[in-house]
Amino acid sequence: MDLSLSPSDLTFQTEVRDWIAANFDTDLRARMALSKNGYVDKASQVAWQKKLAAKGWIAPNWPKEYGGPGLSTTERYILQSELSGAGTPSVAPFGVSMVAPVIMAFGNDAQKEQHLPGILSSEVWWCQGYSEPGAGSDLAGLQMSAVRDGDDYILNGSKIWTTLAQWADMIFCLVRTSKEGKPQEGISFIVFPMSLPGITVRALPTLDGPAEGQHEINQVFFENVRVKISDALIGKENSGWTYAKYLLEFERGNAYAPGLRHMLNKTRKVASKEYDGNEPVIRNPDFARKLALLEMRIDTLDATERRVLSSLSAGQNVGPESSMLKCAGSEAQQAITELTLEAVGLLANPFVQDTVALAEPGSNAGSPTPEYALTAAPSYFNYRKTSIYAGSNEIQRNIMAKAVLGL
């Protein structure tokens, strides 16, 4: 197993680093530094994604026939690692990384022609309609109905924890089209505009206290929403469970280690500036021990991700390793935000609702604490979600127990 980079890979790595240095400008860096949840405002997010699209890097996993760059498995890993390690905004995954692979694999030609170009250009923003108030990790229990009425479906129900639905032009949804047989057998995968009559988006409050319009999650209500079946239905009716499992392979397929290193480096800088008595916090033996343990966790995770990369390059499937990486990565994210909060101490107390506004040109808003302290508590609260979304860590451990231990 060769975990080293080839000369051509190293050349590509240098190209990526040079491009980031030239395009990740000071304004966007300031906005990201003040973000509570890793997102910036929609205009800044789209502008960044358009830069990536112009370079051909917004959809590194897409095949060439649909506009992808034709990168190797290792080049894709390098690109993602460098972007994440530099702290750039993450590409919103709902279009590029989630619904697009499903449309490519199971959609018809008309659907591919209609949706893929807008996803690639970031002209169309997507959101995901999976979880419901009574169906989260047990997704097969979903109840949102799609009842046939001639050539249309009539949709009724609601979806919850819908990330950035207030920005979305389109949604992909799992809906119940049959109550016969096992619950998984009556689910279909559909896509439709968020502008249709009968759709209501309601913000859900979170402890990080986002500014108005910048909230992260929503509940979306559907009341007698009419969609044309030939446009909305992806693949076969009642086969949505198969497509949903296919999509989750892409949702969980990210490398954590580079982003974790970036997060931990920020924590290290904070701990160097804050004092515990007469010494910087970073010199506190207990704090230094926690920092070292996290560095070792990240190094271990990085080695595992590289082994997975080697397997993928050899044409092998990831398997239960994706569940292991999700658990280890998400729990390390939470641990880093806890350590940052410890380093900042009481300076984390003041609440500023719109932290990103401080980065606006000409802003007269004053910060009650050092800027690095403003996001410590909100980020801590926000990252409690990471062990729940994309399949809760408890569910992931069940998968590992069954697949690896045979339990």
pLDDT confidence of residue 6: 87
Packing angle of the helix pair 321-344, 285-313 (nearest 10 deg): 150
CA 77, distance to chain mean position in Å, is: 16
Average pLDDT, the chain: 90
pLDDT confidence of residue 250: 63
CA dist., res. 220 & res. 200, Å (int):
6
pLDDT beyond 80 at 400: yes
pLDDT, tens only, 224-269: 999 999 999 999 999 999 998 888 766 555 678 989 999 999 999 9
Of residues 60 and 351, the one with the higher pLDDT is 60
* Secondary structure letter of residue 94 according to DSSP: I
Query: Across residues 172-198, what is the average pLDDT?
Result: 95
Query: Cα dist. 402→91, 102, 395 in Å?
Result: 33, 27, 11
pTM of the model: 0.87
Residue 178: band (very low, low, confident or very high) from pLDDT cuts 50, 70, 90: very high
pLDDT confidence of residue 140: 87
Helices (H), 198-284: 229-232, 240-251, 257-273
Residue 2: band (very low, low, confident or very high) from pLDDT cuts 50, 70, 90: low
pLDDT confidence of residue 296: 97
Packing angle of the helix pair 285-313, 73-85 (nearest 10 deg): 160
Angle at 264 between CA 161 and CA 90, to 5 degrees: 40
Per DSSP (E only), the strands in 161-214 are 170-176, 187-193, 199-203
pLDDT beyond 90 at 74: no
pLDDT beyond 60 at 72: yes
CA dist., res. 326 & res. 338, Å (int):
18
What lies within 8 Å, CB to CB, of 234 at 6+ separation is 102, 103, 106, 107, 111, 172, 189, 190, 191, 240, 243
Position 235: which residue type? G
pLDDT confidence of residue 374: 87
Query: For the chain, what percent of residues have pLDDT higher than 90?
Result: 61
Of residues 250 and 184, the one with the higher pLDDT is 184
CA dist., res. 10 & res. 78, Å (int):
9
pLDDT, tens only, 280-295: 999 999 999 999 999 9
Cα within 13 Å of Cα(59), Cβ side: 23
Of residues 395 and 234, the one with the higher pLDDT is 234
Ordered by where they begin, the domains of the chain are 7-91 (no CATH), 126-237 (2.40.110.10), 252-403 (1.20.140.10)
Burial of residue 134 (CB within 10 Å: 0-12, 13-18, 19+) is: exposed
pLDDT beyond 60 at 10: yes
Residue 362: band (very low, low, confident or very high) from pLDDT cuts 50, 70, 90: low
pLDDT confidence of residue 121: 95
What are the φ/ψ torsions at residue 190 (nearest 5 degrees)? Answer: -130, 160
pLDDT confidence of residue 365: 59
Q: Which residue has the tokens 């759709």?
A: 199
Query: Across residues 206-220, what is the average pLDDT?
Result: 86
Among 24-28, 30-34, 128-132, 148-152, the least confident range: 30-34
Q: Are 324 and 400 in contact (CB under 8 A)?
A: yes
Query: Cα dist. 199→188, 280, 339, 367 in Å?
Result: 19, 53, 41, 39
pLDDT beyond 80 at 15: yes
Q: Is 375 helix (H, G, I), strand (E, B) or coil?
A: coil
